[in-house]
Chains A and B, each alone.
Chain A
Amino acid sequence: MHRRRFLKASAVLSAGAAGAYALPLLTSFKSSAETTRAPSTKLRWGMVIDLTRCPDNCTACVDACKKENNVNTSGDKLRDIHRIRKVTLESTLSAAPARKSVPLLCNHCDNPPCAVACPIKATTKREDGIVIVDPHRCMGCRYCMIACPYNARHFNFRENPEQPNPAYPKRQHGVAESCNLCAHLLDQGKRPACVDACANVNAQALTVGDLNDPNSEISTLIRNHPVKRLREDLGTEPKVFYIGL
């Protein structure tokens, strides 16, 4: 009789202890759900690039991004980092213009392959939709670079010598990085550097805004123009929309 009571009590106690021990473990799994989740009702950042307004020979967005984010390029094609870059696309359609210069950047996909591929969750998708790399945690395995279908991810193959913008940290040798939509500026209510520069040269081809807000400029643009996204067939659900692609 006493033995049975003892066994019952110890079973209950050990189950309780295991539960108490396992509870933090269970809650820590929450972060993995962040990589792929349905759009929330809160703020959701997206970008619209109007190619009809983007001049072919203009690199204002690229230069502004370099200055703001301490990206140092040295002409090394294999190792330079381009958070945003302009690519010349050639069209096979006779009706469209033969060549077009297109800005390419991280598309902040809703199903980001990079975030899924990252083994340590250094790359994650924030609640507001921005895909961001944590350089403290990144270990430099570069799985994210392999995973990204848009070649938008780059790696720091060497130390950055200069830091022209002391307000933003530079990255050390060995971490991956990509465009983060200037999250540090967006969080303070400012515009990303590329959008700002594009507005300053009066091209206004880049717009960043809240996709969840039907009255925002970006939602209006998407409604009123035929928009296209890059490689929509892959199912990554990119959040950068192109007009005139």
Chain B
Amino acid sequence: MNRHRGMIVAALAFMAMPMLYAVLTFAARPVSEQPWLEPPLANTTCVLPRERMRYDHMRYLKSLRDQVMREGRREQVTGEHAQGIGSCKGCHAHRELFCDRCHERSSVRLDCFGCHAY
């Protein structure tokens, strides 16, 4: 009987731990931290290295736009990249878990998806 009581108490205490964890992590959350971004699909590499993509993706997209639209050159957007900004979806499936995270955190409004489907 005592053994059972001990196990029941242990089970109840164990059930209380996630709640405790939630409260403690909430209390200890850092103020500014890079938000969690959904990782890309495994075994894939991006068109640019990660750091370069981080600071340069806007300029890169603009340069691609000028190339493809104004000059009609599509050599950089072949195959799986043929859809422009929509191609990123192949590895970054959900913009809400990827693009929006940093953009909302930094209050930089995303104007792309009013026209471009993602």
Contact = CB atoms under 8 A, between A and B. Distances in A.
A126 B115 contact: no
A214 interface: no
Interface in B70-116: 70-74, 82-84, 86, 114-116
B68 interface: yes
Interface residues of B, number: 16
B83 A167 contact: yes
A130 B72 contact: yes
B62 to A, nearest CB: 8
A31 B117 CA distance: 30
A163 B70 contact: no
B69 A169 contact: no
By secondary structure, the A interface counts as: loop
Contact of B74 (A136, A169, A188): A188
Interface residues of A, number: 22
B86 A166 contact: yes
A166 B117 contact: yes
Contacts of B86: 166-167
Given A169-B116, A171-B115, A132 B82 contact: no
Residue of B65, B69, B71 with most chain A CB atoms under a 10 A cut-off = B69
A126 B84 CA distance: 19
18 contacts: A127-B72, A130-B72, A134-B69, A163-B117, A166-B86, A166-B117, A167-B83, A167-B117, A169-B84, A169-B117, A170-B115, A170-B117, A171-B115, A183-B72, A187-B73, A187-B74, A188-B74, A188-B82
